[in-house]
Each structure stands twice: as structure tokens, then as C-alpha cells.
Amino acid sequence: MRIFPQSIRWRIQLWYLLLLAGIIAALLVAFYRNQREIKYQVLDRELNNPITRLLPRMERRRELPPRNRRLPRPDPLDGMGVDFEAQSGPGPEGGRRGPGPGPGDRRDELEDRGPTLDEVIGELAEENIFVIHWDREGDVRFASENAPEGLSPLPDGVLGGGDRVSKRTRQGYREVIHASPNRGFLLIGTSIEPIETELSKLEKKLAGIGLLIVGGGFLVGWLLIGRSLKPIEAISDAAHRIAEGDLSQRIAISENGSELGQLSSVLNETFDKLETSFEHQVRFTADASHEMRTPIAVILAKSQFALSRERSVEKYQEALQTCMDSAQHMRTLTDGLLELSKVDSGEFDLRPERGNFEDLTREVVKMIEPLADERGIKIRCDLESVKSEFDSQKMRQALLNLLSNAVKYNREGGAILVGLKKEEGKAHWSVSDTGNGMDAEAIEHVFERFYRVDKARTRSGRSGTGLGLPITKAIVEAHGGMISVESAVGQGTVFRVILPAK
């Protein structure tokens, strides 16, 4: 089972979203907490403030009898959420040391024109702040009208030390408790409902914002990832279509610089080569079968013709002769195809022996002379002795091909010049004829399989297989040499072969 989807796009999208959501959530939570803290700090300051107004007035009422309302002793478990801290800010006593007018002055001030304790409590009640005062024994000395029932001061023992201020949040109220061994407990509290309402609003707002950002991030991410993965899609599309057989398909490259763009162009080059070699293969097969079809057609037609009715002996002989000629042509063709398929599959083995290129060339010239005589063509030789190691049978075949071409494509009564010399440790042949020559297009294709410069030129006699020059080229190259051709229409043709002379 896979938990993650297979698609790279989805995987990247998922990771990206997780990361984005994590960051956004962390930021929003931090912001929320910060806001909450600020709000509580403000609230605490608000709850601390009345102390300066309350304490002096409480001093004055110290003699008053406690109210008959007695609050329960605090439960030890009530300490939950209580947050003791040594008062460092302005406390009940500290207030006296604080800046501003001295305590004595303030008391006078308050006594002179300030409101009474009850009035202050009333004012505070208007601000939703309640005040409860317990004496050291835990008896309520006074309490605001809006003070909730059932409140208790801090647990026992706290009074032991000096003055303390503690804060707690409990049962929907925020309370600041001033504990002093002399005065007992003064609790100033207020409902946190408004703050919490505000905070929960903020919470919702932040959640909304977070969702919006993540949603937007999803969209942007989807588009961006899609965009950057587009080349992969293009690659896969093109590969699909190629697999379906359309080899002309290529990947549309949109961004050349990116890694995927580079991959695409490498793949396109590969596809080019694939297509070219496939086309070669297809054309070669088509050409080969075409070349076979013609002699087969001749044999079939000629034999059917001969057998269609009673004929003279001469007619039968002629038919058989034609069939034999065609069969021989087919043999030459299949031999050539076999040889070239060996070249293609790398099984083209040479059996090199020491020998002299000059002797071999003379031998070949002798072989071709009767053919040349038939057409009144003179062969002139200009040969030097060049010793080397070579496969004499294959090299004989190569030279024979060149010379027989020189005869075949020559004009009646023309000439052939065969040259061989040694230069810079290499054997240089040249075979020149006085034929019609070739145009640039023919020169370009002359070494291709089944390419024939112009069938019309071979009108005399049977046309060749179209494999002679490709085979010659393969033999020369197998010997580590090269073959080239120079020609112009009406100026004859020169084939040059250069072979290392070892």
C-alpha cells in the first residue's frame, strides 16, 4: 500500500502544503499567543490599578466590623491555575515607594476630596471589576456587589511571608490577589468573558486567514509545480506517441536553460537518431525487397510466358537464359546484402596478410581488361610498389568494383587511369574515368545502398545491384582507410582511396 500518491506533482504538492501549513500555523499560533498575552497584561494592569485607590481607603475602614458574610476557607486544590509570584512591581507596600507624590500626601488628598471606599468599589463595579477583602482569618471584610459567590482567598500559609501579589484565572474570572500579613487578602477580579470573546473572534479570524493563505498556497503551488513539471509531461507525451509508432514526434522545448529543457533536447537528439536509423532500416528493407522483386518478376513472367503454350526450342532456351540471368543477378544481390549485413552487425572479418598493393591492382586491371575492350575503353596504369598488410580477397573485390564502375559508366571508347603511389606512409589510389560525371546530389548519395546515379547510363547491359560502392566503402573503412569521390557533370569521375601502408 502506498500512502503517498504516485504522481510527482501530487507528492511535491503534498510536501509543500505540509510545510506551508506548518509554517503558517506556527506563525499564527505565535501571533495569537502574543495577542492573548498582551490582552491579559493589559487586563492585569487594569486590575492592578485600583489598588492605589483602594488601599488608603481600606486603612480608614480597618476599624469597621467585618461583614457577617463569611466565605469558605480555601480548598487546597483551589490553587490550580494560581500563579504566585513575588511582587516586583508596585504592590500595596511598594506603592508607597513608587514614584509620584508621597503616601502621606496622597492620603491627605484622598481624605480631603477623594470618594469613599464604597464609591470607589461602585466605580469599579461599573467597569465590571469586583473587589473582595478577607482578613487574615479569611473572613470577608467587604465585597463588591458584583463579586461572584463562592470565591475564596489563597490557600493558608501564604500569608507567612511578606506581601505577595498573585494572579489567577479561574472559572471565567481573572483575579489579582494582594496578600499581606497585616491586611489579609484583597482580591480584585473581573470576568474574562469579553476578552475571551474577543480572543475567540481573533482565533476564528486567524484560522480564516491561515486557511486562505494555505489555500492560496495550494493554488500557486499547483500552478508552479505544474509549470515546472510541464516539460516532463511533454516528454512523457512525446515518448508515448513515439512508442505508438509515430517516430516523427518530438518534445516541445519551452525552457532551454532548465535541467528538464536540457533533458528534452538530449531526448530529442536521441529520437532524431532513432528515427533516422529506423528510416534507414525501413528504406533499406523496402529497397532490398524492391531490388529482389524485379528479377523475381522477370523469372515469373518469363517462365509463365514460356509455359503458356507450345514453343520452339529457341524460345525455351531464351526463356531459360533470361531466368538464369535473373537468378544470377539475385545471387549477386543477396551476396551483397549478406556482406553488408555483416558490416552492420560488426561481423565483417578481415584476414590480413602481407602483400603488395601494386600486384593486386595489376591483377584487377587484368581481370577488367576484357570488359573494357568490349567497349573500346583503354586502361592506363601508373603504379608504385606499396607493401602492406591487407585482406587480399576483400581488397580485390573493392578495386574490382571501382574499376568495373569506371568501365560501366564510361563513354564508348573512353579511357581509365589507375594510379597508385605511396605518400606519408599511406597508399593512395585514384581511379579516373572519362564518363558523364555526376552532379552534387549524386556525389552526396553515391555511397548509399541501392543508390544509382542514373539508370539510363547503364542502358547497355544489365544494371548493377546498387551495392557495389557501399561494399567498397565498407571494405576500405574496415582496413582503416577512406574513400572519396570527385566529379562534375561532363568531366568524368575520380574515386580516391587512401589506405595505411603498414
Partner 1 sequence: MRVLVVEDQDDLREVVAETLREESFAVDESADGEEGLYKALNWDYDIVVLDVMMPVMDGWEVLEKLRREKQTPVLMLTALDQVRDKVKGLNHGADDYLAKPFDLTELVARVRAVMRRKGGDHRPEVTVGNVTINTTAKTLRLGDKEVEVTAREFAMAELMIKHRDEVVTRDFLYDHLFDENDESMSNMLDVYVYKLRQKFGKNFIKTRRGQGYIVESI
CB burial of residue 143 (10 Å; 0-12, 13-18, 19+): buried
What one-character-per-residue DSSP string does 161-221 give? SS-EEEEEEETTEEEEEEEETTTEEEEEEEE-HHHHHHHHHHHHHHHHHHHHHHHHHHHHH
Sign, Cα dihedral of 278, 280, 281, 286: positive
Residue 455 backbone zone (phi > 0: left; psi -120 to 50: alpha; other: beta): alpha
Region of 45-53, 169-177, 301-309, 385-393 interacting with partner 1 (CB under 8 A): 301-309
Of positions 308, 310, 312, 351, contacts partner 1 by CB under 8 A: 308
> Which residues inside 118-147 make contact with partner 1, applying CB under 8 A?
none
**Residue 300 touching partner 1 (CB under 8 A):** yes
Of positions 322, 405, 432, 465, contacts partner 1 by CB under 8 A: 322
- Answer yes or no: are the C-beta atoms of 361 and 340 closer than 8 Å: no
**Residue 334 touching partner 1 (CB under 8 A):** no
Closer residue to partner 1 (CB): 309 or 351: 309
Spatial separation of the C-alpha atoms in residues 220 and 13, rounded to whole Å: 10
Region of 53-61, 305-313, 441-449, 466-474 interacting with partner 1 (CB under 8 A): 305-313
**Residue 301 touching partner 1 (CB under 8 A):** yes
Question: Nearest CA to 191 among 122, 124, 121?
Answer: 124
Closer residue to partner 1 (CB): 351 or 459: 459
**Residue 285 touching partner 1 (CB under 8 A):** no
Spatial separation of the C-alpha atoms in residues 58 and 452, rounded to whole Å: 125
Q: Give the nearest distance from C-beta 459 to partner 1 in angstroms.
A: 7
**Residue 324 touching partner 1 (CB under 8 A):** no
Of positions 325, 363, 369, 389, contacts partner 1 by CB under 8 A: 325
Of positions 249, 326, 432, 436, contacts partner 1 by CB under 8 A: 326
Closer residue to partner 1 (CB): 129 or 453: 453
Q: Give the nearest distance from C-beta 444 to partner 1 in angstroms.
A: 19
Of positions 156, 279, 335, 454, contacts partner 1 by CB under 8 A: 454
What one-character-per-residue DSSP string does 332-381 give? HHHHHHHHHHHHHHT------EEEEHHHHHHHHHHHHHHHHHHTT-EEEE
Of positions 302, 394, 428, 449, contacts partner 1 by CB under 8 A: 302
Region of 100-108, 122-130, 449-457, 484-492 interacting with partner 1 (CB under 8 A): 449-457
Task: Identify the residue whose cell numbers are 471589576.
Answer: 129
16-33 burial: b if 16+ Cβ within 10 Å, else e: bbeebbeebeeebeeebe
Closer residue to partner 1 (CB): 205 or 280: 280
Region of 73-81, 178-186, 404-412, 450-458 interacting with partner 1 (CB under 8 A): 450-458
Closer residue to partner 1 (CB): 332 or 356: 332
Spatial separation of the C-alpha atoms in residues 1 and 268, rounded to whole Å: 36
User: What is the length of the chain?
Assistant: 502
Closer residue to partner 1 (CB): 296 or 417: 296
Spatial separation of the C-alpha atoms in residues 120 and 89, rounded to whole Å: 22
Of positions 21, 296, 367, 494, contacts partner 1 by CB under 8 A: 296
Q: Give the nearest distance from C-beta 314 to partner 1 in angstroms.
A: 13
Region of 89-97, 119-127, 211-219, 319-327 interacting with partner 1 (CB under 8 A): 319-327
Task: Identify the residue whose cell numbers are 598488410.
Answer: 389
- Answer yes or no: are the C-beta atoms of 287 and 298 closer than 8 Å: no
**Residue 294 touching partner 1 (CB under 8 A):** yes
Spatial separation of the C-alpha atoms in residues 66 and 354, rounded to whole Å: 136
Closer residue to partner 1 (CB): 50 or 466: 466
Spatial separation of the C-alpha atoms in residues 96 and 106, rounded to whole Å: 10
Q: Give the nearest distance from C-beta 291 to partner 1 in angstroms.
A: 8
**Residue 328 touching partner 1 (CB under 8 A):** no
**Residue 297 touching partner 1 (CB under 8 A):** yes
Q: Give the nearest distance from C-beta 472 to partner 1 in angstroms.
A: 23
What one-character-per-residue DSSP string does 374-429 give? HTT-EEEEEE---EEEE-HHHHHHHHHHHHHHHHHTSPTT-EEEEEEEEETTEEEE
Region of 93-101, 148-156, 174-182, 292-300 interacting with partner 1 (CB under 8 A): 292-300
Q: Which three cell numbers stand for residue 291?
A: 531490388
Contacts of 194 (CB under 8 A, 6+ apart): 128
Spatial separation of the C-alpha atoms in residues 70 and 58, rounded to whole Å: 18
- Other CB atoms within a 10 A radius of the CB of residue 321 amount to 11
**Residue 351 touching partner 1 (CB under 8 A):** no
**Residue 290 touching partner 1 (CB under 8 A):** yes
**Residue 304 touching partner 1 (CB under 8 A):** yes
Closer residue to partner 1 (CB): 175 or 291: 291
Of positions 104, 245, 459, 490, contacts partner 1 by CB under 8 A: 459
**Residue 331 touching partner 1 (CB under 8 A):** no
Closer residue to partner 1 (CB): 356 or 463: 463
Contacts of 161 (CB under 8 A, 6+ apart): 181
**Residue 298 touching partner 1 (CB under 8 A):** yes
- Residues in contact with partner 1 by CB under 8 A are 286, 289-290, 293-294, 296-302, 304-305, 308-309, 322, 325-326, 454-456, 459
